[in-house]
Amino acid sequence: MNKFESNLARYIELFLSFKHSIGFAYHTGEYYLQDFDKYNLINGNYDYLNQKLVESWVQQKKEHTHSQYIGFLSYIREFGRYLNSIDNKSYVLNDNYKSVKYKANVYLFTNEELHKFFQQIELHKKTVSNIRESVVLPALFR
């Protein structure tokens, strides 16, 4: 059974062959393109990327992800560029769709807070009944 079934199947396979030939394993890209292929199959089965199809797939993926990371955008964007390069006029996802960078809220301990933290580890080390815990906790946090 072929991994790809829609009218885009041969183009996806050519694209993946191209990626492999230039040294990319492209496993994650293949996963997302397989998902897109299934979506295309039940939503018009086009042999090119049209704006409505691509954007509705992106919207569906965004609604079903529990993460801020939406790296799947780059795979469909690259595929659209590839199709255009082989004269299959297709929609390329525009730059309004981009991955949101995660910004960590970093907290740095003061010297006093660090001192209190390690004091608590030392106190805990003396009160545990398990020898492993008395050795592991101090090692883990130092």
Where residue 30 falls (left for φ over 0; alpha for ψ -120 to 50; beta otherwise) is alpha
pLDDT at 43: 97
Taking the model in full, what pTM does it have? 0.69
Q: Give pairs for 14-20: CB < 8 Å, separation 24+.
A: 14/86, 15/79, 15/82, 15/83, 18/82
pLDDT at 142: 65
Query: For the chain, which ranges sit under pLDDT 50?
Result: none
pLDDT at 30: 96
Please state, in angstroms and rounded to a whole number, the distance separating the CA atoms of residues 62 and 60. 5
pLDDT at 44: 96
